[in-house]
Amino acid sequence: MLTFYYAKGTSALAAHILLEELGVTYQAVEVALAQGAHKQAEFLQINPKARVPALATSEGVITENPAILTYLGATHPEAEMLPEGAFARAEADALNAYLCATMHVAFAHKFRGARWADDPAAIEAMGAKVAGNLTDCAALIEAHYLRGPWALGDQFTICDAYLALVPGWLSKAGVSLDQFPKLAAHWAALRARPAAGWVIAWHEK
Ligand SMILES: N[C@@H](CCC(=O)N[C@@H](CS)C(=O)NCC(=O)O)C(=O)O
């Protein structure tokens, strides 16, 4: 049995969507970030990085959204959500790496500037860059990654679950999704899927 460590309104949404899309049996454990539960010894044994999501499997704990999504896709090949073939797989890895290492980090400068600076003025200056940087990221995805109806074409893949984070990042940074028609259509299509739509609505509660 898998155990999924998550918090509502966080990037754990991506892995949560894939768990439900795949119909996986798992136990969900909410980690109270506001109370600092992720920094307590009990959770640090699960993820020493003090972050969600984390997925405990029979072989050990997996952290990082791209790794969790890949694991879930690989362990459910019948769903065909992890692209096969070296090039297709690398394309999926490239999009997921961009979301993890560039766009999510750009968004983190909005609320987590203290990770990078102590000077309040520097933190404020970094925060002021967030909307512009996220606009650039969204424009890049809009121009190069959304083949339609799903990110990589006809097949819903692990990337589509990860892309579910983009509208929330934009909204929290005050960037309108309306200026990105493909991303907006992707968001509407995601919400229309029974499993993904249910998870998104549940995280919004
Ligand atoms: N690269 C990680 C990022 C995980 C991450 O930053 N999670 C945030 C929530 S979105 C978190 O746990 N933050 C707690 C903190 O910064 O104290 C991933 O993709 O899983």
* Ligand 1 atom 2: residue of nearest CA: 64
Going by CA atoms, what residue is nearest to atom 6 of ligand 1?
A: 51
Domain boundary among 25, 49, 79: 79
The answer to whether residue 199 is domain-embedded is: no
Structural domain boundaries, residue 31 = 2-79
Question: What ranges make up the beta strands (E) of the chain?
Answer: 2-6, 26-30, 54-57, 60-63
- Ligand 1 centre and the CA of 25: distance in Å? 24
- Number of structural domains found in the chain: 2
Is 92 in the same domain as 188? yes
pLDDT digits (tens, 9 = 90+) for 112-146: 999 999 999 999 999 999 999 999 999 999 999 99
User: Which among 20, 50, 79 is the end of a domain?
Assistant: 79
Mutate to test the pocket of ligand 1, among 8, 11, 61, 103 (most ligand atoms within 8 A of CB): 11
Q: Are residues 146 and 171 in the same domain?
A: yes
Closest protein CA for atom 1 of ligand 1: 64
**Are residue 90 and residue 75 in the same domain, yes or no?**
no
**pLDDT, tens only, 46-100:** 999 999 999 999 999 999 999 999 999 999 999 999 999 999 999 999 999 999 9
**pLDDT tens digits, one per residue of 8-51:** 999 999 999 999 999 999 999 999 999 999 999 999 999 999 99
For ligand 1, atom 15, which residue shows the shortest CA distance? 51
* Per-residue model confidence (pLDDT) at position 24: 96
Pick the last residue of a domain from 58, 79, 100.
Answer: 79
